Structure 1
Amino acid sequence: MSGANCALVVGLVFVAASALGARRALRVAGAAAALAGFVVLVTPEPSVVRAATMSTIAMVAVLLGRPGAGLALLALATAVVIVADPWLASSIGFALSVAATGALLVLSRPLAAGLARGMPRALALTLAVPLAAQLACGPLIVLIEPSVAVYGVVANALAAPAAPAATVLGLAACLAAPVPLLQAGLTALAWLPASWIAQTALVAAALPGAALPWLAGGPGVATLAVLGGAIAVLVVAPRSRRRLRLLAAAFTAVAAGVALGGGLLGGPAAPWTLPAAWAIVACDVGQGDANRNGLHVSPGVLG
């Protein structure tokens, strides 16, 4: 949520400066100062640095009267940050942040339009944003934990409305530090949306089958990336593209079946794959041994 938080802080300062009749240059300067303070406050994590850099570039574009497209700003922000700190190129947090932002810019609208064919538009818009982020970030997350979050889209959709309130109230509580009573009240108010976000994550993680095991390493990344593309095709492609939709549906069904089957065999159904009783007989005739690394027996010894 760092990108949304930076945008929210910048937007609030712009609105306040506009209400005071400040010129565009002063609005940009005030927003840049507020953004710098916000970055210091929340600590310059990779995703925060990326979002702050992108916001700064966007403000410069506004100052010059030449607002650029979102993808162009993202590309420029990413290049600037990597040049300034090349070590971020190996940061998974930075990669996730860039991937999520790119997915929101490219996929959210087409996904919303596709989902709206089968559900109310408001619900489609709500689900499109976290779905786009999960499709883009899933393959990268596999590098950290070889599993797929089953309830991630729903959990993010439920938590998202509380994020702006938590950001505004939390920032106000920090700024109110010189007035302890006011700070305590704002902190108590900020606790409500923050707790909602935390409890949403905890409940989603505790639900049965919250994470499906997935292939690790390169094969897992490639497979999940192709699956994400297939899901996007199913949602976005028009119904007239029957062959493309059929191919995407077939791959999605096979991948989902393999993942679900693997998850069941490694979880609730694991006891069903083992015999009810085990019996091992080892004949010590010098042709085999049962040691701490396992049972090694020559052919014909057991029978």
Structure 2
Amino acid sequence: MSGENLVFVLAAALPIARLAGLRGRFLTLTGLAVVLGFTVLARPEPSMVRASVMALLSLLLAAIGRRARGVPLLCAGGTLLLLFDPWLARSYGFALSLSATAGLFVLAPGWQHALAERRVPHRIAESLACTAAAEAFCLPVLVSLTAEITPLSIPANLLAEACVGPATVLGAAALLGAAVWLPLGRGIAWLAQWPADGIVAVAKHGAQVPGAAVPWPGGLAGSAALLAVYAVLFLISAAAAPRKEAR
């Protein structure tokens, strides 16, 4: 996910900037430069642009002392991008990026809290809730394109998650290192290949597991059918909730 990759890069770059003595506006400008630079390096695909615009808006709000709130920030970023380029409305990458982020903001906090109440360790609860929430919001878009449901996508994403951060940070560092001294960039890229190979291995072997993909109607009809299933599950859970509270 582009937003997660950008978060990893910012999480690595901003502490270094603080250690270098940057504060206030200079720290914000550094964050803006990192976002723009990473967007150029990763190529400005629709999902990457969405993540970058939200990061820029968040940094600007922090600079003026305002707290960024997830859903309004997502709506503002998506609206600005659609006003700038209405053809993004036809991009599956843009739709999936918005859907995944909306899932993180809308569903993930509640699911994480529910897992924590069942004494699931914090880190595991966070990863599981975020992965499942993003998948739940993306699936109605995905089935319209692929005409299949992938039940193993959640465990596969959880397995690959451990490799995403190192691959992203080392990959960005390799590009910067190569600009300074080519052998340095090659050395860092050699390190980056290992987590990248881990992600590829999870995708390759996960796709070969029996039942990894289940046929489902495609197009608008498939999306509508899946949303109907979601509605039924929501009604069942809402009806069961009062009984649990009564107990």
2:93 is aligned to 93
Identity of aligned residues (%): 36
Query: Secondary structure of 2:67's match?
Result: coil
1:29 is aligned to 29
Cα displacement string for residues 202-221 of structure 1 (whole angstroms, at most 9, x for unaligned residues) = 11111001111001222210
1:135 is aligned to 136
| 2:127–2:158 Cα contact (<8 Å) kept | yes
- Taking the aligned partners of 2:51 and 2:191, their CA distance within structure 1 comes to 26
Structure 1 spans left out of the alignment, 5+ residues: 244-303
CA shift in 2, pair 1:233/1:166, >3 Å: farther
Which shows bigger deviation, 161-170 or 215-224?
215-224
Cα displacement string for residues 31-64 of structure 1 (whole angstroms, at most 9, x for unaligned residues) = 1112111111111000000000000000000110
The size of the alignment, in residue pairs, is 242
| 1:146–1:214 Cα contact (<8 Å) kept | yes
CA shift in 2, pair 1:105/1:203, >3 Å: same
- The answer to whether residue 166 in structure 2 is matched with residue 152 in structure 1 is no
Question: 1:117 Cα shift?
Answer: 5.3
Question: 1:118 Cα shift?
Answer: 5.2
- Taking the aligned partners of 1:180 and 1:143, their CA distance within structure 2 comes to 44
1:163 is aligned to 164
Matched AA of 2:144: L
Cα displacement string for residues 243-301 of structure 1 (whole angstroms, at most 9, x for unaligned residues) = 9xxxxxxxxxxxxxxxxxxxxxxxxxxxxxxxxxxxxxxxxxxxxxxxxxxxxxxxxxx
2:185 is aligned to 183
Query: Secondary structure of 1:161's match?
Result: helix
Give the 5 Å matches for 1:258-273: none
Matched AA of 1:226: A
Matched AA of 1:133: A
| 2:144–2:217 Cα contact (<8 Å) kept | no
| 1:166–1:191 Cα contact (<8 Å) kept | yes
- Taking the aligned partners of 1:32 and 1:67, their CA distance within structure 2 comes to 17
CA shift in 2, pair 1:240/1:137, >3 Å: closer
1:220 is aligned to 222
Give the 5 Å matches for 1:48-59: 48-59=48-59
- Taking the aligned partners of 1:63 and 1:124, their CA distance within structure 2 comes to 31
Which of 198, 201, 206 aligns to 2:200? It is: 198
Question: 1:67 Cα shift?
Answer: 1.6
| 1:146–1:216 Cα contact (<8 Å) kept | yes
- The answer to whether residue 175 in structure 2 is matched with residue 174 in structure 1 is yes
Matched AA of 2:176: L
Structure 2 spans left out of the alignment, 5+ residues: none
TM-score, normalized by length of structure 2? 0.91
Question: 1:230 Cα shift?
Answer: 4.7
- Taking the aligned partners of 1:49 and 1:232, their CA distance within structure 2 comes to 33
Matched AA of 2:8: L
Question: 1:9 Cα shift?
Answer: 2.2
| 2:145–2:219 Cα contact (<8 Å) kept | no
Greater helix proportion: 2
Query: Secondary structure of 1:67's match?
Result: coil
CA shift in 2, pair 1:188/1:34, >3 Å: same
- The answer to whether residue 23 in structure 2 is matched with residue 40 in structure 1 is no
CA shift in 2, pair 1:151/1:232, >3 Å: farther
Query: Secondary structure of 1:65's match?
Result: coil
Q: Which is higher, the Rg of structure 1 or of structure 2?
A: 1
Which shows bigger deviation, 13-22 or 102-111?
13-22
- Taking the aligned partners of 1:68 and 1:117, their CA distance within structure 2 comes to 27
User: RMSD in angstroms over aligned alpha carbons?
Assistant: 2.1
Cα displacement string for residues 61-80 of structure 1 (whole angstroms, at most 9, x for unaligned residues) = 01101122111111111011
| 1:18–1:27 Cα contact (<8 Å) kept | yes
Question: 1:13 Cα shift?
Answer: 2.9
